Amino acid sequence: MISFEHVGLRYNVGPEVLSDITFTLEQGAFHFLSGPSGAGKTSLMKLLYLGHLPTRGVVKMFGQDVVTASRTQRMMIRQRIGVVFQDFRLLPHLSAFDNVALPLRIMGKKPHEIKNTVREILEWVGLSEQMNALPSILSGGQQQRIAIARAVVGKPRLLLADEPTGNLDDAIGYRIMSLFEQLNRMGTTIVIATHNQQMMDHFNHPRLTLDKGHLAVLPPTQKAALREAY
Amino acid sequence: MARKRIWELLPDTQDSGTRFVMLVVVMMTFLATLAVGGALVVSALRATWVDAVEGHITIEIPASDGAGVIRNADTLSDNARGIANAVGSLAGIKSVHVLSRVDIKNLVKPWMGEAAGTEDMPLPALMGVTLRDPDDTGALEAITKAAKALDAAAIVEAHQSWISDLRRFSLVLLLAACAMAFVTIACCIVAVTGAVAARLSEHHADIDLLHLMGATDDYIGGQFVQSVVRSVGGAALAGTVIGLVLLKAGALIAGNIQTAMLPQAGFGFADYVAFAGLPALVTGLCFAAARFTVLRSLRQMP
Ligand SMILES: Nc1ncnc2c1ncn2[C@@H]1O[C@H](COP(=O)(O)OP(=O)(O)OP(=O)(O)O)[C@@H](O)[C@H]1O
Ligand SMILES: [Mg+2]
C-alpha cells in the first residue's frame, strides 16, 4: 500500500536528514517508529503525510507516485491519512468540537452525521465535557487527545501519530493505544513515532528504527513478543 | 426558530482590518449611488429637454427689417397667417400654431419686464411647427422654402445646434457619472482584494494544515471568500441605502423648485432596479476578485 525506494530528504541546501530509506507498509500493518531525538522520525512522517516531497527516490502512497501525482490527486491521498502532529496543530479559534469535525467537513459529510461521529469520538477520548472549549484553555494532554480525535474521526486508511502519548498519563495513554489497535483491526494502517520503551514493550508491533537518517525494520521487542505469547 | 450560526473555518471577521475595508466599501458604494442617481437625473433631464424641442420648428418674422426699420404689425400677422396656411398644407406636418401677441408678450416678459405690456412694443411674429416625424430631415427645407416665398425675412429654426449641444453636454455629464461609479467600485475591489491577501498570509499556518488534511483549494478558498462576500454585501447595501436616503432628500428639495426645466422629481421602478443592482454588482465583482486572488495564492502553496 505504501512503499519507499531509496528515498532521501534534505531541507533546502542542508544535509540529507533521511538517506536511502527503503520499506513497504501493507494494508493493516501497525508499526512503531523509534529512534533518538533528531534522528528524522518527524521528517519521515512528513514524507508519509505528503508534507514534503522526497528529494530523491520514489514514494508510492496507495499505489500512486507522490511526485508525479497531480495536486488534486495529492489532496485525495491526504484525505485518507489521519495525522497526530507532534505539536498538535489545533486551530486556536475553533472549539474542540469544530477542530475534531474539520476532516469530516473537508470530506463534505452531512451535518447530523458530523455531529454524531464527533460526539462519539470526543466521548471516547474523554472530552465530551470540553466540547465547546477553545484549545487555549485546555491542558496539554487534553489538546493532545483533541488532536488524536481529529486524526481518527475520518476513519483514515493510514494513521500517523508523532509521539501521541507523550503528554498523557499511563491510563489514558494505554486507552488511546487500544483505540489505535481497534482502528487497526478495522483495517487502518498505523505508524506511531515514540520514545516510549514501555509502550513498545507492551504492544506487540514491529519497529521501524531510525538512526542518523538510516532506517532499519525490527521485529517487536522481546518483552512484547513474550507478553503476546502468554 | 433560532437560526443556527453558520460554521466558519476562519475566526470572526470583526478584526480592525476587516472593519476598515467595510468602511471603505460603505463610503464607496455611497458615492457610487450618488453617481448612479446623478446619471439617472441627467438622462431624465436630457429626455425632457430634447423631447421639448425635437420635432419642433420655429418660424420667426423679425419685427424690424434688415435696415432696422420697424415693420407694420398687421403686415407681420397677415404674413404669419399666410405662412401658417402654406406650411400646414405641406406633407409631414402635424400642426402649425401661430402665437398670439399675448403669448409672445408672456415669452419675453421675463427678459423685458413690464415694458412688454405696452401696446406699441414691436414684437416679432412667431409660429410653432410640430413635425409628424421628429427625424424628418426634408421638412426643414420645405418649410423654409414655403416661408421665404411669402416673407423673405422669415427665419426658420430647427434648434439643431441646441439639441446637439444638449446631447453633448448630457453625454459629458453621463460619462463623468459613469467614471465616478467605475472608480468607486474599483476602490472597493482593490480594498477587498488587499484585505483578502492580508488575511491569507495571517492564516498561512492554518491553511497549511488544511492542505495537509486534504482540503482542496476550492474548499479553503470558498471559506475565505464566503466571509468576504457576507461582509462586503452588507457594507455595499448600507452604502447604497445611505446614498438613496440622501438622493431622496435632494429630490424633495428639488421638488419644491417650481421649474418646468426639471423633470418630475423622484425615481421610477426601473431606477430602483438600477440602485438595487449596485450593491449586487459591487459584491459580485469583489467576490470574483477575492476568489481569483485566493485561488491564485493557494495554488502557489505546497
Ligand atoms: N523544517 C526543517 N528545516 C531544516 N531542518 C529541519 C527541519 N525539520 C527538521 N530538520 C532537521 O532534520 C533532522 C531530523 O529532525 P526530525 O524533526 O525529523 O527529528 P525527530 O526524530 O522527529 O526528533 P524528535 O524525537 O526530537 O522529535 C534534525 O537534524 C533537524 O534539525
Ligand atoms: Mg519529531
Sort out which chain A residues have CB atoms less than 8 A from B211's CB and list them. 75, 78
Q: What separation, in Å, do the N-terminal and C-terminal C-alpha atoms of chain B show?
A: 43
CA distance A194 to A179: 16
| A51, A71, A91 ranked by CB distance to B212: nearest | A51
* Domain B56-157 = CATH 3.10.50: no
Q: Are residues A72 and B216, on separate chains, in Cβ contact within 8 Å?
A: yes
Q: Which helix (H) or strand (E) holds B142?
A: helix B138-150
| Every domain of chain B and the residues it spans | 2-51+163-300, 56-157
pLDDT tens digit sequence for B163-213: 888 888 888 988 999 999 999 999 999 998 888 888 888 888 888 899 999
pLDDT attached to residue B5: 38
CB of A67 within 8 Å of a chain B CB? The answer is no
| A94, A98, A102 ranked by CB distance to B213: nearest | A102
What's the gap in Å between A38 CA and the centre of ligand 1?
5
Largest CA distance in chain A: 51
Looking up cell 430602483 gives B272
More confident residue, B54 or A34: A34
| Every domain of chain A and the residues it spans | 1-80+157-230, 88-155
What pLDDT band is residue B6 in, cutting at 50, 70 and 90? very low
More confident residue, A194 or B45: A194
A176 CB contacts (<8 Å, ≥6 apart)?
A125, A145, A148, A164, A165, A168
Which CATH number is associated with domain A1-80+157-230? 3.40.50.300
Q: Which of A45, A77, A93, A162 to mutate to test the interface with B (most CBs of B within 10 A)?
A: A93
User: Which residue ranges in chain A fall short of pLDDT 50?
Assistant: none
CA distance B87 to B130: 11
What CA dihedral angle connects B270, B271, B277 and B279, to 10 degrees? Answer: -160
Residue B11 is given by DSSP the state P
pLDDT attached to residue B11: 61
What cell does A10 get?
534534505
What pLDDT band is residue B45 in, cutting at 50, 70 and 90? confident
- Work out the number of other CB atoms within 10 angstroms of the CB of residue B95: 11
Task: Give me the long-range contacts of B131-137 (CB less than 8 A, separation at least 24).
Answer: B131/B55, B131/B56, B131/B57, B131/B92, B131/B93, B131/B94, B132/B92, B132/B93, B132/B94, B133/B55, B133/B92, B134/B54, B134/B55, B136/B92
Nearest chain A residue to B6 by CA distance is: A111
Sort out which chain B residues have CB atoms less than 8 A from A107's CB and list them. 214
Checking if the pLDDT of B3 tops 50, the result is: no
What cell does B110 get?
421675463
CB of A55 within 8 Å of a chain B CB? The answer is no
Question: In Å, how far are B17, B146, B221, B227 from B7, measured between CA atoms?
Answer: 21, 81, 15, 11
Q: Are residues A51 and B216, on separate chains, in Cβ contact within 8 Å?
A: no
CA distance B20 to B26: 10
Residue of B55, B209, B213 whose CA lies nearest to B139: B55
The size of the A-B interface in CB pairs under 8 A is: 43
pLDDT attached to residue B301: 78
What's the gap in Å between B37 CA and the centre of ligand 2?
64
| A72, A78, A98 ranked by CB distance to B7: nearest | A98
B120 in helix, strand or coil?
A: coil
- Work out the number of other CB atoms within 10 angstroms of the CB of residue B274: 16
pLDDT attached to residue A96: 93
CB of B206 within 8 Å of a chain A CB? The answer is yes
Q: Which helix (H) or strand (E) holds B127?
A: strand B125-131
Min Cα–Cα distance to chain A from B203, Å: 10
pLDDT attached to residue B263: 54
Checking if the pLDDT of B9 tops 90, the result is: no
pLDDT tens digit sequence for B205-256: 888 899 999 988 888 888 878 877 888 899 999 999 999 999 888 877 766 6
More confident residue, B8 or A124: A124
CA A144 to chain centre: 12
In SS3 terms, chain A reads as CEEEEEEEEECCCCCEEEEEEEEEECCCCEEEEECCCCCCHHHHHHHHCCCCCCCEEEEEECCEECCCCCHHHHHHHHHCEEEECCCCCCCCCCCHHHHHHHHHHHCCCCHHHHHHHHHHHHHHCCCHHHCCCCHHHCCHHHHHHHHHHHHHCCCCCEEEEECCCCCCCHHHHHHHHHHHHHHHHCCCEEEEECCCHHHHHHCCCCEEEEECCEEEEECCCHHHHHHHHC
CA distance B22 to A86: 39
Checking if the pLDDT of B142 tops 60, the result is: yes
Checking if the pLDDT of B4 tops 50, the result is: no
Provide the b/e sequence for A120-129 (b: ≥16 CB within 10 Å).
ebbebbebee
| B11, B210, B299 ranked by CB distance to A93: nearest | B11
| Mean pLDDT to the nearest integer, B12-25 | 76
Question: Which ipTM was obtained for this model?
Answer: 0.87
More confident residue, A135 or B19: A135
Ligand 1 binding pocket (C-beta < 6 A) is A 11, 14, 17, 35, 37-43, 86
More confident residue, B91 or B36: B36
Q: Which helix (H) or strand (E) holds B125?
A: strand B125-131
More confident residue, B123 or A40: A40
pLDDT attached to residue B2: 33
CB B248 within 8 A of CB B38: no
Residue of A123, A194, A108, A91 whose CA lies nearest to A154: A108
What's the gap in Å between A123 CA and the centre of ligand 2?
28
Residue B115 is given by DSSP the state G
Min Cα–Cα distance to chain B from A99, Å: 9
CA A200 to chain centre: 16
CA A102 to chain centre: 16
CB of B213 within 8 Å of a chain A CB? The answer is yes
A32 CB contacts (<8 Å, ≥6 apart)?
A191, A192, A193, A194, A199, A200, A203, A205, A206, A207, A208
CB of B211 within 8 Å of a chain A CB? The answer is yes
pLDDT attached to residue A133: 92
Residue of B140, B158, B153 whose CA lies nearest to B65: B153
pLDDT attached to residue A204: 86
More confident residue, A190 or B160: A190
pLDDT attached to residue B113: 67
> What does the mean pLDDT of chain B come to?
81
Q: Which helix (H) or strand (E) holds B139?
A: helix B138-150
CA distance A175 to A51: 28
| Mean pLDDT to the nearest integer, B46-56 | 78
